[in-house]
Structure 1
């Protein structure tokens, strides 16, 4: 008999960890990285890619267009510059907090 995953918190944590992995990969390919008004802006291949909190979602847009959802159930999304990169702090609507430091390599 198969046992299904019933803990929504575990599924949400996996979703956020996958987001952190994807974001790190995009940051590695970016030619410029900025944080403006709690929005992450990445310059890549002549386009501006943004990640931001929109309602209870973390979404990705390219040149201000589209609406690609990366994480649902987000209460707070904050970005803080660090001397070696930046920190992301995500708080879920369930009250769980996830932090990740993204290191910028030259």
Structure 2
């Protein structure tokens, strides 16, 4: 019996901090709806200012023309590597695929276009001043693209035999 009473006293003492905490939480005055709306408005105003503060820090991307030309050269490299044979005629690049289709990449006005067997008109790059294609060896060729602003981008493609 003595141990039971002692256990009850210990249990009551150990639950006292929990009871005090629950009383504080339950009896604490909360915020009104108006205060919540005002604080939400202040947070929205501050959140809208964050991009303005970070804009001087952010790195600006290169020009879209440079990205477009870079993607063109990457895709052209894939076509050159996968092609069966490559030929340069009238400053145009003609790639014969394993299926027998001939892909042509030529400058047309201020565009570089792709045609399959001389048909179609798929624009790959815009605002181009000049496209230069040079055969460097039996397995490599150099393609230089100059945009209308005079910026030049050059790649060398090597074919595996």
Compute the TM-score of the two structures, normalised by the length of structure 2: 0.60
Return the structure number with greater helix share: 2
- Mapped pair 1:104 → 2:104: no
Max Rg structure? 2
Report Cα offsets for 1:27-67 as digits up to 9, x if no partner. 11110110011010000111110001000000000000000
* Structure 1 moving runs of 4+ over 6 Å: none
Equivalent residue number for residue 47 of structure 1: 101
Corresponding residue for residue 93 of structure 1: 148
Tell me by how many angstroms 1:105 deviates. 1.3
Contiguous gaps of at least 5 residues in structure 1? none
Contact 2:81–2:158 (Cα < 8 Å) also in 1: no
CA contact (8 A) 2:129 2:147 kept: yes
Hey, what does 2:68 align to over in structure 1? 15
Residue equivalent to 1:78? 132
Is contact 2:114–2:122 with CA below 8 Å preserved after alignment?
A: yes
TM-score (norm 1): 0.90
Task: Report whether the alignment pairs 1:59 with 2:113.
Answer: yes
Number of paired residues? 104
Residue aligning to 2:3: none
